[in-house]
Amino acid sequence: MDKYNRDVLFYKPGGTSLVPENRRKIDNLTVTNLTYRASDNLSLYYAQWVRHTDATLYALALVAVAVFNFISNKVEAPWIYLGITSVMAILAGRIWLNSIDNRFLEYRCIAEAARTLFFWRIAGVKHPLWITFLSRQLGRIALLSGQLGPMHWVRQAVRSMEFCQDCRLSNVSPTPGGLAIARTYWIDDQKTWLERRQLWHLRRYGFWNRVSQLALAASFLTAIALALLTVIPAGHGSTLWKAWVKPNDYGDLWQAALGVFAGGGVVARGFLARMSHLELAKQYASQRFIFESASGVLDKIKNEPKPEWTAVDILEKLGREALHEQAEWLWLRHTRPFEVPTA
C-alpha cells in the first residue's frame, strides 16, 4: 500500500472522472472518484510499460539470433551478442525487481472497485464492498501457501478507501437521478468499451496468427530452396549451390537469413504461446455479458408493475459479479512471471 501511495505521489496521475464534471459533479464521492482516477491512470501506465518491454525483448531476441550466426567468423559478433542479451536482462530485471507486471493488475483491481463503489453509492446501494471483494481468491491463496499472499493489500486498500468515503457520506441514499447516471456512465459505458476492446484483441490475435504462419512458411520455403540448389547441376560438374549461394563467401549471410526467418516464427509463436490477446478477448467477452445482462434486466423491469428485482438490487448484483470477474483475472494472472525469450 505504501508503494501504491508513493506511485501516486511521484507520478501525480490525473485520469478521467467517472462522471464528466461538466455534466454532473458529485462532491460527496470525491474520495472514490480520485482513487479511481489515480488507480486507472497508474494501471494504464504500467500496462504500457510491460507491453513495450515485451515487444522490445522479442525484437532484440530476433537481432540476437541473426548476430549469433556470425560468432565463429566475426570478432565483433560475440561482443554484440553479449551486449544485446545484457540489455534484455536489464529490461527484464526492471520488470521483475519492481513487480511491474503485477502492479498494473493490482492497480486495475483497485480502479474497478472504486468504480463499483462510486456507482453503488450514487444508486443508494448500502452493501459494504470490501467484505466480498477478493474473499474467494484470498481464501485460495491461504489454502495453498498457508498465508494471505501478495494480493491481500489490494483488499485492505479498498477497505481503507471505502471507510474514508463512507465517513464523508451523511447517509447512503440515492443521488437524484443516480440510477440514470449509473445506467449511462457505468453500464452503457462499460458495454461499449468492452465490446470495442474485445474486437481489437481478436484482430490482434488474427494478425499474430498470420505472422506466425508466414514466418513458418518462409522458413520452410527457404530451407527447401537451398536444399534443391545442392542437387541442381550448373555445368562443369558444379551445382547451383556453389554457383549461386557461394557458401565459402556468403555462408554466414545465408545462416543469418534462415535465423531471421526462424526467429520471426519464434517471435510470433511467443506471442501466441501466451495467448495474451485471445485471453483478453475472452475476459472482455465474459465481463461484457455481465453488463449486457444487467442492462436487459433493467429494461425488463420497466414494464413490470411489481418486479421481483428492483433497480438497486440489479446494480448491487452487477457490482458483485463484475468485481468477481476482475478478482478472478487478478488471481489467474498474478502468479504468472513475466516471460522472456529463452530460445
* 3-class secondary structure per residue, the chain: CHHHHHHHHHHCCCCCCCCCCCCCCCHHHHHHHHHHHHHHHHHHHHHHHHHHHHHHHHHHHHHHHHHHCCCCCCCCHHHHHHHHHHHHHHHHHHHHHHCHHHHHHHHHHHHHHHHHHHHHHHHCCCCCCCCCCCHHHHHHHHHHHCCCCCCHHHHHHHHHHHHHHHHHCCCCCCCCCHHHHHHHHHHHHHHHHHHHHHHHHHHHHHHHHHHHHHHHHHHHHHHHHHHHHCCCEEECCEEHHHHHHCHHHHHHHHHHHHHHHHHHHHHHHHHHHHCHHHHHHHHHHHHHHHHHHHHHHHHHHCCCCCCCCCHHHHHHHHHHHHHHHHHHHHHHHHCCCCCCCCC
Grid cell 530460445 is found at 343
- Residue 327 contacts residue 286 (beta carbons within 8 Å): no
- Residues ≥6 apart with Cβ < 8 Å to 263: 61, 62, 65, 66
In this prediction the pTM is 0.82
**8 Å CB contact between 215 and 264:** yes
Question: Residue 118 corresponds to which cell in the numbers above?
Answer: 462510486
Cα–Cα dist 310/47, whole Å: 38
170, 137 contact by CB (below 8 A): no
Q: Yes or no: say if 47 and 40 are a contact pair by the CB < 8 Å rule.
A: no
User: Residue 292: its pLDDT value, please?
Assistant: 94
Q: How many CB atoms lie within 10 A of CB 304?
A: 9
Termini Cα distance of the chain: 37
What pLDDT score was predicted for residue 17?
A: 86
CA distance 171 to 86: 58
User: Which residue type, as a one-letter code, is found at position 226?
Assistant: L
Question: Which phi and psi angles does 233 have, rounded to 5°?
Answer: -70, 150
Local confidence pLDDT in tens for the 343 residues of the chain: 899 999 999 988 777 888 886 555 577 788 899 999 999 999 999 999 988 888 888 888 878 877 877 776 777 888 888 999 899 999 988 888 888 888 889 999 999 999 999 999 988 888 889 888 887 666 555 445 455 567 788 989 999 999 988 887 766 666 778 888 899 999 999 999 999 999 999 988 888 777 777 777 777 787 787 788 788 887 777 787 777 766 666 666 666 666 666 555 555 555 555 678 888 899 899 999 999 999 999 998 888 888 888 888 999 999 999 999 888 888 878 767 677 776 5
Residue 35: exposure state from Cβ atoms within 10 A (0-12, 13-18, ≥19): buried
Residue ranges covered by each domain of the chain? 2-334
Q: Is the dihedral of CA 198, 200, 201, 207 positive or negative?
A: positive
* pLDDT for 269: 57
Measure the CA–CA gap between 327 and 134, rounded to whole angstroms. Answer: 6
Position 46 scores a pLDDT of 92
Q: How many degrees, rounded to 5, is the angle at CA 120 between CA 114 and CA 123?
A: 145
Q: Do 57 and 88 meet the contact criterion of CB atoms below 8 Å apart?
A: yes
